[in-house]
Amino acid sequence: MDGKTREAAPPSPDTTPRNGSETDKRRGTPASIMNPLDRYEPLVDDYEAFREACNRPLPSVVRVNSIKADPERVRTALDEEGVTYEPVDWHDRLLKLPEGSPGTNWAYVHGWLHGQEEVSALPALALDPDPGDRVLDSCAAPGSKTCHLADLMDDTGVLVGNDNNLGRISALRHNAERLGVSNLVVTNRDARTFALDGVDEFDGVVADVPCSCEGTCRKNPDALETWTMNHVEGLVGVQKGILRRAIQLTRPGGEVVYSTCTFAPEENERVVDHALEVEDCELVEWDAPLETTEGITEWQDEEFDDSLTKAHRVYPHFNDTGGFFVAKLRVVGDSEDETTADAAADEEVSA
Amino acid sequence: MADHENDGQRFDRLPATPAEREISGRASREEVLEWWEDRFGVPPERFEEVTFWEKGAGKLWAFSADLPSPIDAEGLGITFLRTRQEHWKPTTSGVQRFAADATKNVIELSPGEASAFAAGHDQEIDRWEGDWGYLAAAHELAGELAPIGVGLYVYGELRSTVPKGNQEELAVLDE
């Protein structure tokens, strides 16, 4: 494990009573009576810093789109225009723009930059697709992660960007077009039953599922104000269905990245734990490039598979970002399993 | 021939040549390659890995892979050319993506002209001695010429075709 990973906090006492009138109020009512972040005190290291970070606005960040320009040319263009920027220390393709809107400079107009949150770069980096791969982004709109995948694929292979919301698909289309992404098929389907003629299986899938968005509270405080446990539990069913389909669509040896922008273990570890039970897959280590903490294996009265410690939780105070969860899975299967094949090849060489 | 009419809900790969055309009015790959070479000096090899598709009447898409045709999708690569009109018109994204190395019909704008163009303004430019019609409007940025979008040049005027949603009031760079 990388040195940046923090030790998980000790298992939590049950902070949300499951019976009685207090629970009933919380389950259905918009949570003016509680802030859902209160639930995470037992999980989070330096809880006060966590809450303070959640109340600060997020810095404006852009990603360099190397389909159209390399980072050096982008920095030169920003210098020529007098736009101030700061590096993001964990990734050289991300820049902070302390003075404001990413949309009003020449580099942006040329499609050399895309405004996106730092943590939203994690799913594509975790999948780390190769040029020529076949990749699916199950819940793609508005397309920041999709276009990042295209960049890592050198705009080659086949990238499918799917979303079930036709309105949001126009944002995905607009962003992909502006960034010059030409390897993208945009589809409007239910990710739980996704299929596409001509592509039977994928080398990799990103399932960045719809979630309660607690981790976006720094730019969208509404996410906390409208939070209910009923909503969370409704989402969990959808999330499980999307992740299962993602795994089924991936070739043996291929990889699936599951991510959310929420802290709720119900939507994170519980969903991945379910996939481990019902599909032929395993969690794999991924060396996250920024400070994270391990996924948890216990929450309230639930226990999750021990391998969930390989997942990553990102809290806002760690790197001054939004909140995030990311888990990387490998699909195990009967046909050519790359891991087994590689291991066999290694043995032959050493023999 | 109802089966052979253009269907606006799906993408069809362009026929390789005019002789293989089954749908009236549809451009062929050969004609599209010739157009980019004639208009902008972009060699056909630039599109070697790119397939061309039509969705709707005359809107062509460039996709840097291949899939079985037809395909039911909302998008396939980027829009790059409008045909089925007297003068074929490249799109902003098409010119930005494929005309970066264009050798013909590229009008280099001064910093002030470039800002006016990006904001969607038409402007008198009488120095242009090349063809009339659709030009790639470019400016120098970070040491190289970069296409901003498509201008329509007629009667001494360069009309910006930058779509309204993409128009921006940008800084005038130093000369």
Smallest CA–CA separation between A156 and chain B, in Å?
A: 6
Alpha helix (H) residue ranges in chain A: 21-28, 47-55, 71-81, 106-109, 122-127, 144-152, 166-178, 222-225, 229-248, 269-278, 316-319, 338-350
Q: Which residues of B touch A109 (CB under 8 A)?
A: 118, 148, 166, 168, 170
Q: What's the pLDDT at A24?
A: 43
Pair A333, A235 in one domain: yes
Three-state secondary structure along B79-124?
EEEECCCCCCEECHHHHHHHCCCCCCCEEECCHHHHHHHHCCCCEE
Tell me if residue A127 falls in helix, strand or coil: helix
Helix A229-248 with A21-28: angle, nearest 10 deg: 60
The dihedral over CA atoms of A279, A284, A290, A295, expressed in degrees to the nearest 10, equals: 60
On whether both A79 and A45 belong to a single domain, the answer is: no
Residue of A nearest to B75 (CA): A186
Q: What's CA A49's distance to the chain center, in Å?
A: 23
Radius of gyration of chain B (CA): 17
For residue A73, what is the domain's CATH number? 3.30.70.1170
Residue A213 lies in a domain: yes
Distance CA B163, CA B131 (A): 23
Pairing type for strands A324-331 and A312-314 reads antiparallel
Give ∠ CA B75-A151-B114 in degrees, rounded to 5. Answer: 80
Q: Is residue A24 part of a domain?
A: no
| pLDDT at residue A27, as a whole number | 53
Task: Please tell me whether residues A294 and A150 are part of one structural domain.
Answer: yes
| Mean pLDDT across A324-349 | 67
Domain ranges, ordered by start, for chain B: 2-93, 106-166
CA-CA distance, A123 to A325, in Å (whole number)? Answer: 9
- Answer yes or no: do B165 and A181 touch at CB < 8 A: no
Do A290 and A181 fall within a single domain?
yes
Three-class SS state of A169: helix
pLDDT over threshold 80, residue A156: yes
Across A111-119, average pLDDT? 95
C-alpha B161: how far from chain center: 11
Which three-class secondary structure string do you get for A50-82?
HHHHHHCCCCCEEEECCCCCCHHHHHHHHHHHC
For residue B78 the two structure tokens come to 């980027």
What distance in Å separates the CA atoms of residue A149 and residue A136, rounded to the nearest whole number?
9
Radius of gyration of chain A (CA): 20
Query: Is the per-residue pLDDT at A342 higher than 70?
Result: no
Judged by phi (left if over 0) then psi (alpha if -120 to 50, else beta), residue B118 lies in: alpha
Cβ contact A184:A288 at 8 Å? no
Q: Which of B64, B72, B95, B113 to mutate to test the interface with A (most CBs of A within 10 A)?
A: B64
Smallest CA-to-CA distance from A74 within B146, B162, B158 is with: B146
Candidate from A157, A174, A182 with C-beta closest to B97? A182
Question: Does B10 contact chain A (CB < 8 Å)?
Answer: no
Q: How many interchain CB pairs under 8 A, A with B?
A: 106
Q: In degrees, to the nearest 5, what angle opens at C-alpha A323 toward C-alphas A321 and A324?
A: 115
DSSP-derived 3-state class of residue B46 = helix
Quick check: A312 and A327 in contact, CB under 8 A?
yes
CATH of B106-166, one of 3.10.450.720, 3.30.450.20, 3.40.50.720, 3.40.50.620: 3.10.450.720
Is residue A29 included in any domain, yes or no? no
Residue type, A280: D
pLDDT tens digit sequence for A188-204: 999 999 999 999 999 99
List the single best residue of A109, A134, A154, A178 to mutate versus B (max B Cβ within 10 A): A109
Assess whether A134 and A234 both reside in one domain.
yes
Q: Are A23 and A228 in contact (CB under 8 A)?
A: no
Last residue in a domain, options A76, A99, A116: A116
Contact A109 B170 (CB under 8 A): yes
Q: Is A307 found in the same domain as A322?
A: yes
Residue A10 lies in a domain: no
Contacts of B65 in chain A (CB under 8 A): 156-158, 183
Domain ends where: A71, A92, A116?
Answer: A116
Q: What is the pLDDT of residues A279-298, one digit of tens each?
A: 999 999 999 999 999 999 99
Residue A293: phi and psi, rounded to 5, are: -125, 160
In-domain check, residue A277: yes
Do A198 and A97 reside in the same domain of the chain?
no
Q: Are residues A251 and A289 in the same domain?
A: yes
pLDDT by residue, tens only, chain B of 175 residues: 334 455 556 999 999 999 999 998 999 999 999 999 999 999 999 999 999 999 987 899 999 999 999 999 999 999 999 998 899 999 999 999 999 889 999 999 999 999 999 999 999 999 999 999 999 999 999 999 999 999 999 999 999 999 888 898 998 998 7
Give the distance from residue A321's alpha carbon to the nearest chain B alpha carbon, in angstroms: 28
User: Residue A182 and residue B62: Cβ atoms within 8 Å?
Assistant: yes
Does one domain contain both A179 and A288?
yes
- Whether A45 and A150 share a structural domain: yes
Tell the burial category of A228 from Cβ atoms under 10 Å away from its Cβ (0-12, 13-18, 19+).
middle
Chain B CB contacts of A101 below 8 Å: none
Residue A10 buriedness (CB in 10 A; 0-12 / 13-18 / 19+): exposed
* Tokens, residue A265: 């273990």
Question: In the numeric block, which tokens belong to residue B43?
Answer: 């060699």
Which CATH number covers residue A180?
3.40.50.150
Do A129 and A190 sit in the same domain of this protein?
yes
**Are B93 and A178 within 8 A, CB to CB?**
yes
Q: Is B71 on the interface with A (CB under 8 A)?
A: yes
User: Does the annotation mark A261 as catalytic?
Assistant: yes
φ, ψ (nearest 5 deg) of residue A275: -60, -40
Q: Domain range for residue A81?
A: 60-116
Q: What residues of chain B lie within 8 A of the CB of A69, using their CB?
A: 142
Show which residues on chain A lie within 8 Å of chain B, measured between beta carbons.
68-69, 73-74, 76-77, 80-82, 103-111, 155-158, 161, 166, 169, 172-174, 176-178, 180-188, 197-199
A89 in a structural domain: yes
User: How many independent structural domains does chain A possess?
Assistant: 2
pLDDT in tens, B37-72: 999 999 999 999 999 999 987 899 999 999 999 999
Instruction: Say whether B68 and A106 touch across the interface (CB within 8 A).
Output: no
B157-160 and B144-154 strand pairing: antiparallel
Q: What is the pTM of this model?
A: 0.90
Query: How is chain A split among helix, strand and coil, in percent rounded to 5?
Result: 40, 20, 40
Among residues A194, A224, A228, which one has the least CA distance to residue A209?
A: A194
- Which strand (E) or helix (H) includes residue B33? helix B29-40
B51 vs A: CB within 8 A? no
Nearest CB among B64, B67, B93 relative to A177 is that of B93
Segment among A94-103, A215-224, A252-261 with least mean pLDDT: A94-103
Q: Are strands B78-82 and B59-63 parallel, antiparallel or unpaired?
A: antiparallel
If asked whether residues A269 and A303 sit together in one domain, one would say: yes
